[in-house]
């Protein structure tokens, strides 16, 4: 499979997986390429950005994106999904569908406060795509030649944190904002900080010492970075280790 990630401005992680750091909010978009299906992780912050990601993914793979996974429900990770609808099957942690359905105004307001143009925020929320496939524990996706594990590892950064594990010679773990490299972890009003360290322990137990951990924002990190961030959160919020 000749997927020329770097030529398209993407970072190749393994033969099957790559990612791109989007501008403005440095949000990671992940891509996993199977022989039959293509999984996208977090489709961007608005319909325009989602359309750009869709076009890039189709140029890279020669096929349409068939599956989308939301790592959590913040605007920069979900509002681009309308560019893939109808067509792509959308996955998220159990409860995320209900949250997005009732907090549309909050989602729009947060996007505008963070700098998204009001018209783009309104369009994206009006066309909001909610996940139809809800992960309460673990869910295996068969993409053809590669099986990807979706794991509900939260709560932590939010109450609906989903991680994506891609097997291979070196496993890749898409962490969402449970892990951040380009800044301190964002502890917003919807975070569950006292349970966040346990969510990182679950990431580490599934990924292992040799995995590549892909933060929601920032550079790819090793397991040691995830452990250090877990220990910082424990100290910050008075959570004892096991």
Closest by CA to 93, choosing from 128, 134, 57, is 134
Q: Which residue positions in the chain have pLDDT lower than 70? A: 1-3, 241-242
The encoded tokens of residue 90 equal 């959308």
Closest by CA to 97, choosing from 162, 142, 32, is 162
- 63 in Cβ contact with 54 (< 8 Å): no
Residue 144's φ and ψ, nearest 5 degrees, are 95, 100
Closest by CA to 74, choosing from 169, 187, 228, 201, is 187
pLDDT value for 3: 56
pLDDT value for 136: 97
Q: What pLDDT, in 10s, does the model give residues 74-129?
A: 999 999 999 998 889 999 999 999 999 999 999 999 999 999 999 999 999 999 99
pLDDT value for 1: 43
pLDDT value for 4: 77
Task: Please give the model's pTM, rounded to 2 decimal places.
Answer: 0.96
- Bridge partners of 152, per DSSP, are 162
């Amino acid at each position: 499979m000749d997927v020329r990630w770097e030529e398209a401005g993407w970072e190749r992680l393994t033969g099957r997986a790559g990612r791109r750091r989007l501008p403005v909010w440095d949000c990671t978009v992940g891509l996993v390429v199977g022989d039959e299906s293509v999984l996208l992780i977090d489709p961007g912050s608005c319909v325009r950005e989602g359309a750009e990601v869709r076009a890039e993914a189709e140029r890279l793979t020669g096929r349409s994106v068939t599956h989308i996974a939301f790592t959590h429900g913040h605007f920069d990770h979900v509002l681009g999904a309308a560019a893939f609808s109808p067509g792509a099957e959308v996955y998220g942690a159990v409860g995320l569908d209900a949250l997005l359905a009732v907090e549309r105004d909050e989602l729009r307001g947060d996007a505008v406060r963070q700098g998204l143009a009001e018209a783009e925020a309104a369009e994206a929320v009006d066309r909001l795509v909610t996940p139809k496939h809800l992960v309460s524990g673990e869910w295996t996706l068969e993409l053809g030649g590669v099986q990807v594990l979706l794991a509900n590892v939260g709560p932590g950064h939010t109450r609906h944190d989903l991680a994506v594990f891609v097997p291979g010679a070196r496993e890749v773990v898409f962490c969402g904002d449970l892990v951040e490299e380009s800044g301190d972890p964002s502890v917003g009003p919807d975070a569950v900080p006292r349970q966040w360290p346990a969510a990182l322990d679950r990431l580490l137990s599934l990924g292992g010492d040799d995995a590549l951990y892909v933060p929601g924002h920032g550079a790819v990190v090793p397991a040691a970075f995830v452990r250090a961030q877990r220990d910082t959160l424990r100290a910050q919020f008075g959570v004892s280790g096991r």
